[in-house]
Homo-oligomer: A and B are copies of this chain.
Amino acid sequence: MVGKRVLVVDDDVKTVELVELYLNRDGYRVLTAYDGAEALRLAREAHPDLIVLDIMLPGLDGLQVCRTLRNESDVPIIMLTARTTEQDRLIGLELGADDYVTKPFSPRELAARVRAVLRRLPEESLHRGPKEVVAGELKLNLETHEASLAKKPLNLTPMEFRLLAIMAREPGVVFSRAQLINRAFGYDFDGFDRTVDVHILNLRRKLETEPGRPRYIKTVYGTGYKFTGGKE
Residues of A bordering B, CB below 8 Å: 1, 14, 18, 21, 86, 90, 93-94, 96-100, 104, 106-109, 112, 115-117, 119-120, 122-124, 127, 143-146, 157-158, 172-174, 176, 178-179, 181-182, 187-190, 220-223, 226
Contacts and interface: CB of A to CB of B under 8 A. Distances in A.
17 contacts: A14-B90, A21-B94, A93-B106, A96-B108, A98-B109, A99-B106, A109-B120, A116-B187, A116-B189, A119-B178, A119-B182, A120-B187, A122-B178, A122-B179, A123-B178, A144-B173, A145-B174
A187 B144 CA distance: 23
Contact of A120 (B146, B182, B223): B182
Contact of A116 (B90, B112, B188): B188
B122 A176 contact: yes
Given A21-B94, A116-B124, 16 more contacts: A14-B90, A93-B107, A96-B108, A97-B108, A98-B108, A99-B106, A112-B120, A112-B190, A116-B123, A116-B189, A143-B173, A144-B173, A145-B174, A145-B223, A158-B221, A158-B222
B18 A93 contact: yes
